[in-house]
Amino acid sequence: MRVLLVLALALVFAASAQAETNYQKARRIVYAVFPDSTQAAALRVVGCETGYTYSPWSYNASGATGYFQILRGNAGRVLYHLGQRLVIPSPPALFLPWTNVRVALFLSHGGTDWREWACRP
């Protein structure tokens, strides 16, 4: 019985040691979506907007959600990129990290215009 307990604890510890932190996940997604020249700035905005928790579940009373604290009204604008219309995300979809970061990419004009955000790089 004792061996089983030790083995179970070892497995739990190994799994938690390999789990990605909020920061690591945010960095991975931001760096995959934003251009090289604006990745670091975008990650600084995520840090500030989430209160440095880097949580994709960040939310505030105004209804802003996700890494970049995007308001549904801002995301609801018709967005075009390379002639392709983007699907307008629903409020729950803005909690999805990849969706939130992609919308931020377009709203920030590729990470070059941060006027939409209270936090700026």
Residue 96 pLDDT more than 70?
yes
Residue 34 pLDDT more than 70?
yes
Query: What's the pTM?
Result: 0.77
What pLDDT sits at residue 58? 95
Average pLDDT, the chain: 82
Range 106-114 contact pairs with CB under 8 angstroms and sequence separation of 24 or more: 106/79, 106/81, 107/68, 107/70, 107/74, 107/75, 107/79, 108/38, 108/42, 110/34, 110/35, 110/38, 111/34, 111/35, 111/37, 111/38, 111/39, 111/41, 111/42, 112/38, 114/41, 114/45
Alpha carbons 36 and 92: distance in angstroms, whole number: 28
What pLDDT sits at residue 46? 98
What's the rounded mean pLDDT across residues 90-107? 87
What pLDDT sits at residue 5? 46
Its CATH architecture, for the domain 21-107, is Orthogonal Bundle (1.10)
Residue 17 pLDDT more than 70?
no
Instruction: Indicate the domain borders of the chain.
Output: 21-107
Residue 82 pLDDT more than 60?
no
